[in-house]
Structure 1
Amino acid sequence: MYFAISGVGEINNGVIKMPENVCHPVDEKLPLGQTFVYGLQHVLAMYAGAVAVPLILANALKLPNDVLIYLINADLFVAGITTIIQCIGFGHIGSKLPLMQGVTFAAVTPMIIIGQTHGLTSIFGSTIAAGIITYLLSPYFSKLLRFFPQVVTGTIITIIGISLLPVAVNWSAGGNPSAPNYANGTYICLAFVVLTFILLLNRYCKGFLSNISVLLGLIFGTIIAIPLGITDLSKISQANWIGVTMPFAFGVPTFEFSSILAMTVVMLVVMTETTGDLVAIAEIVKKPLQPNDLTKGLRTDGIGTLIGGIFNSFPHTAFAQNVGLVSLTGIKSRFVVASGGLILIVLGLLPKAAALVAAIPSPVLGGAGIVMFGMVAASGIKSLAKVDYEGNKNSLIVAVSVGVSMIPLAVPSFYHTLPEWAGIVLHSGITGGTLAAILLNAFFNEFGTIIKKQESRIV
């Protein structure tokens, strides 16, 4: 166990220096049984978030249930592969740190717009292109980090959470505004019960149960919904036990410029988030993060996104909730997290498991979604609380960026007269707000700093 060997090494500036005959806790291999249990814990902690994106996308695009099941399986399958790559490392790819990978929420809104405009094949095509671009940009991204200070990253994370909250509200009302029973009392009460259950778990439970409170809330809400006639379990019996995810199952990917541009902007956000996760996990496990390690970790996002587009999935990133789980449990082995990736691959080959997830009623998802998406926004607010607002224009950067991100939420048709490529990019509150934050920070902080330096030289 890690606790048995952690006292052996010397600590220098917060970094554990292990004797030559003792491996670092990150490289420790635990007994097989423990490795499986701890790996399963990581899967349970991220499972709800991992399947949320295909659920959101399928509902928004009104895809049939069998397509939803296929997308969930593909999602889990690719997340497992990408997690193993990140933890084990293959050549110049993979940070060899305990990080779980999964589909990013940041891509939801752009993918919905792309899917409604050009179809699923364009989503997968833009995902493939964005994955390749991310891979190529990874060695240079660290040089661009000065354009992503905390005021920008905090604003972006806040915008992501706020932009997704309307999805949770729509789920709570039933998911289909055109349905005659939309927003009826039963749906709203069920969403409230699920939300309350999750809050109670977080209030009175600790550790493992608290970490999987969202998953337990989904299970609890689905069980309650059965006698109410809201849960449809018929699709589970119809699903196959085994299903293999095939490349390009929905046809040859199509590559459309505006869609690729929108997805590339998303991946710039993803690379920023992953950089933060890599720095955080390296700090937790007391292993110095070298520039080459950062590049390898970011390349994993690119490769995972590329594989995702090929295997009918979406852009991938590191999952922050699992970073917290490593800190909470003290189990720092990358092989534990890699075993979680293996579990995800197995789950991705079981359509019945995906059908079970697809049977979760929309109001149940809504109650959990308010927690999940609200926590994303809260993380952004927490990050913004650390920003210095004195003697600068950081308040203005946050204000205008959040305001720009709210435009398509308040008035969905606001950009409808613009060219199609501009509409796809700006119609997403996330991409519009992100671009605003980056440009405003460059204008007020980067460009302003250069001018001040030039003026001081003249004086």
Structure 2
Amino acid sequence: MTATATSAAPAGESGLHPVDQVPPLSRLVPLGLQHVLAMYAGAVAVPLVVGGALIASGKLAAGDLPYLISADLLVAGIATLIQSLGFWRFGVRLPLMQGCTFAAVSPMIAIGSQYGVTAIYGSVIAAGLLMILLAPVFAKLLRFFPPLVTGTVILIIGLSLMSVAAGWIGGGTGSKGFGAPVNLAFAAVTLVIILAIERFAPPAFQRLSILLGLVLGTLISIPFGLADFSGAADEAWFGISTPFHFGFPAFKLSAIVAMCIVALVIMTETTGDMLAVGEIVDVHVDSKRLADGLRADGLSTVLGGIFNTFPYTAFAQNVGLVSLTGVRSRYVATFAGGVLVLLGLLPKLGGIVEGIPLGVLGGAGIALFGMVSASGVRTLARVKFNNANVLVVAISLGIGLLPTVSPTLYSQFPTWFQIIFDSGISAGALTAIVLNVIFNSGSVQRRLGGGESEHSAHDAVRSAAADTTMPVPDSGASPERSAH
């Protein structure tokens, strides 16, 4: 059961908004694969990090790691299908890709090391249920996300993700030979290929610039020994994740409290991502739609706990891809979700994708994450910048980037504090929300003469979205292509 997107943008020839139109299969397939390749490294990073830590502490066996990755990809695909297709009051019905959140990594390692892996899954299930219950309440806070806040959060998302791109470009953070010139060279080659396709190729190929850049970069890297597909030979053709594979969940109060704090962080991050993609595709995300999306995140997180994986949220790197390609159809994400399910069921396919060199991924990451930042700047361009609003952006941006430039800055603080502030996205979002309330509400707003009311804020969001398109053919479904 799906709902038609509402927006100020004109509908296509079919009478449907471009978000609800299905591109031809010849375009749907490569566009969907492009989304999968853009998120794959990030999607498997959480089970790799958490699984590796639990193996080191003796809570898991080394042979459990491939199982964690397959389970993660399977549930990520299901979560993406729920979010893009939607049913009843679950799913934002926008082109969003879902994956495990990095915000939960540290607390999950702490919980697993102390109580065992079953306590992780018990706390994940509890956090997911909390998210489902809180979704309508949290969505009512939409008035606290005017363009001043959303633009700042989107900008922080893009800039924070550059540390991920830098890790890829160097060949993997902490890896032997990190920063080897050959890795940087192939990142540069991939980026040049993407730029050349965007500049000189026909529009049909421009929409596939990231996919083509990854494929060509990988092919060029093969003679240099950077592409390693040997892992695919060791993987089974078929494997399925079973509920409670590691045992029935254990519900420990301290673990549940810690993961519920993470749930609030996830909801804050997801709100920013949903508002961002809504602006890019020219769909107004109201409180009802936002609640549906947050509720879907909660359901996916519950499924994660059941199927031996972790909390789920929207992937910001794919928001950048939507902006870059200008293809607004949510069915591209739906197809990509189906591919993730297949990768979860067919580990050998996942081994092939895993063979893409990290340097090549890093070159694409610069374009993807840079586009997210540019989208935030475009949103902020609609804000009236008096001294108060300049302060809101400046302080929020500074606090949001602190954990990116200094990852161990908060290592001496309590776990609950680290959960919130080790994520630059959540720290920056909370700062922007609080400062906006302080400087742009009531008597302060009248005194400064530059704040935004809720009504004007929503008008500015709609205006920003409507002003970010340029007449380039879309994926056979829309006469416009977003220029975010």
- In structure 2, relative to structure 1, the CA distance for the partners of 1:163 and 1:127 (3 Å cut) is farther
Deviation digits for residues 376-401 of structure 1, max 9, x if unmatched?
Answer: 222222222222213x5111111111
Residue of structure 2 equivalent to 1:220:
216
Residue of structure 2 equivalent to 1:443:
438
Match of 1:407 among 402, 406, 410: 402
* One-letter code aligned to 2:156: I
Deviation digits for residues 54-113 of structure 1, max 9, x if unmatched?
Answer: 344356558499766545543443343234434554333345x45343227xx32x2343
Give the distance between the partners of 1:77 and 1:409, measured in 2 at CA.
Answer: 29
Residue of structure 2 equivalent to 1:143:
140
Alignment of 1:85-164 (within 5 A): 85-94=82-91, 97=93, 99-103=95-99, 107-108=101-102, 110-119=103-112, 121=117, 127-164=124-161
Residue of structure 2 equivalent to 1:241:
237
- In structure 2, relative to structure 1, the CA distance for the partners of 1:353 and 1:267 (3 Å cut) is same
Alignment of 1:37-436 (within 5 A): 37-57=26-46, 63=52, 69-94=66-91, 97=93, 99-103=95-99, 107-108=101-102, 110-119=103-112, 121=117, 127-177=124-174, 179=176, 181-249=177-245, 252=249, 255-278=255-278, 281=281, 283=283, 292-311=288-307, 312-317=309-314, 320=319, 328=327, 338=334, 341-390=337-386, 392-436=387-431
Give the distance between the partners of 1:203 and 1:413, measured in 2 at CA.
Answer: 40
Is the 1:241–1:352 Cα contact (8 Å) retained in structure 2? yes
- In structure 2, relative to structure 1, the CA distance for the partners of 1:401 and 1:215 (3 Å cut) is same
- In structure 2, relative to structure 1, the CA distance for the partners of 1:154 and 1:370 (3 Å cut) is same
Give the distance between the partners of 1:290 and 1:420, measured in 2 at CA.
Answer: 34
- In structure 2, relative to structure 1, the CA distance for the partners of 1:368 and 1:326 (3 Å cut) is closer
Is the 2:10–2:17 Cα contact (8 Å) retained in structure 1? no
After TM superposition, give the deviation of residue 158 of structure 1 in Å.
1.6
After TM superposition, give the deviation of residue 141 of structure 1 in Å.
3.4
Is the 1:198–1:214 Cα contact (8 Å) retained in structure 2? yes
Give the distance between the partners of 2:278 and 2:108, measured in 1 at CA.
Answer: 31
Is the 1:402–1:433 Cα contact (8 Å) retained in structure 2? yes
Where 1:227 maps in the other structure, the secondary structure is helix
* One-letter code aligned to 2:371: M
Give the distance between the partners of 1:323 and 1:52, measured in 2 at CA.
Answer: 18
Give the distance between the partners of 1:253 and 1:275, measured in 2 at CA.
Answer: 35
TM value normalised by structure 2: 0.74
- In structure 2, relative to structure 1, the CA distance for the partners of 1:305 and 1:256 (3 Å cut) is closer
350-359 or 163-172: bigger deviation: 163-172
* One-letter code aligned to 1:442: V
Deviation digits for residues 203-254 of structure 1, max 9, x if unmatched?
Answer: 2234443233223322223223322222322111111111212334456476
How many equivalent pairs are there? 423
- In structure 2, relative to structure 1, the CA distance for the partners of 1:124 and 1:200 (3 Å cut) is farther
Unaligned runs of 5+ in 1: 1-11, 454-459
Give the distance between the partners of 1:374 and 1:451, measured in 2 at CA.
Answer: 36
Residue of structure 1 equivalent to 2:452:
none
- In structure 2, relative to structure 1, the CA distance for the partners of 1:235 and 1:216 (3 Å cut) is same
* One-letter code aligned to 2:134: L
228-237 or 119-128: bigger deviation: 119-128
Is the 1:50–1:102 Cα contact (8 Å) retained in structure 2? no
Give the distance between the partners of 2:178 and 2:9, measured in 1 at CA.
Answer: 55
Is the 1:51–1:75 Cα contact (8 Å) retained in structure 2? no
Where 2:412 maps in the other structure, the secondary structure is coil
Give the distance between the partners of 1:80 and 1:306, measured in 2 at CA.
Answer: 14
After TM superposition, give the deviation of residue 280 of structure 1 in Å.
5.9
Deviation digits for residues 325-377 of structure 1, max 9, x if unmatched?
Answer: 99648xx6x77764554444233311111111222222222222222222222
- In structure 2, relative to structure 1, the CA distance for the partners of 1:133 and 1:163 (3 Å cut) is same
347-356 or 401-410: bigger deviation: 401-410
- In structure 2, relative to structure 1, the CA distance for the partners of 1:214 and 1:112 (3 Å cut) is farther
Is the 2:139–2:288 Cα contact (8 Å) retained in structure 1? no
Give the distance between the partners of 1:248 and 1:208, measured in 2 at CA.
Answer: 45
Is the 1:75–1:313 Cα contact (8 Å) retained in structure 2? yes
Where 1:146 maps in the other structure, the secondary structure is helix
Is the 1:409–1:429 Cα contact (8 Å) retained in structure 2? yes
- In structure 2, relative to structure 1, the CA distance for the partners of 1:58 and 1:303 (3 Å cut) is closer
Is the 1:404–1:429 Cα contact (8 Å) retained in structure 2? yes
CA RMSD of aligned residues (A): 3.8
Give the distance between the partners of 1:370 and 1:78, measured in 2 at CA.
Answer: 27
Give the distance between the partners of 1:148 and 1:195, measured in 2 at CA.
Answer: 33
Where 1:103 maps in the other structure, the secondary structure is strand
Is the 2:148–2:389 Cα contact (8 Å) retained in structure 1? yes
Identity %: 35
After TM superposition, give the deviation of residue 412 of structure 1 in Å.
3.2
443-452 or 409-418: bigger deviation: 443-452
After TM superposition, give the deviation of residue 294 of structure 1 in Å.
4.7
Is the 1:275–1:298 Cα contact (8 Å) retained in structure 2? no
- In structure 2, relative to structure 1, the CA distance for the partners of 1:15 and 1:131 (3 Å cut) is farther
Is the 1:39–1:340 Cα contact (8 Å) retained in structure 2? no
After TM superposition, give the deviation of residue 438 of structure 1 in Å.
1.6
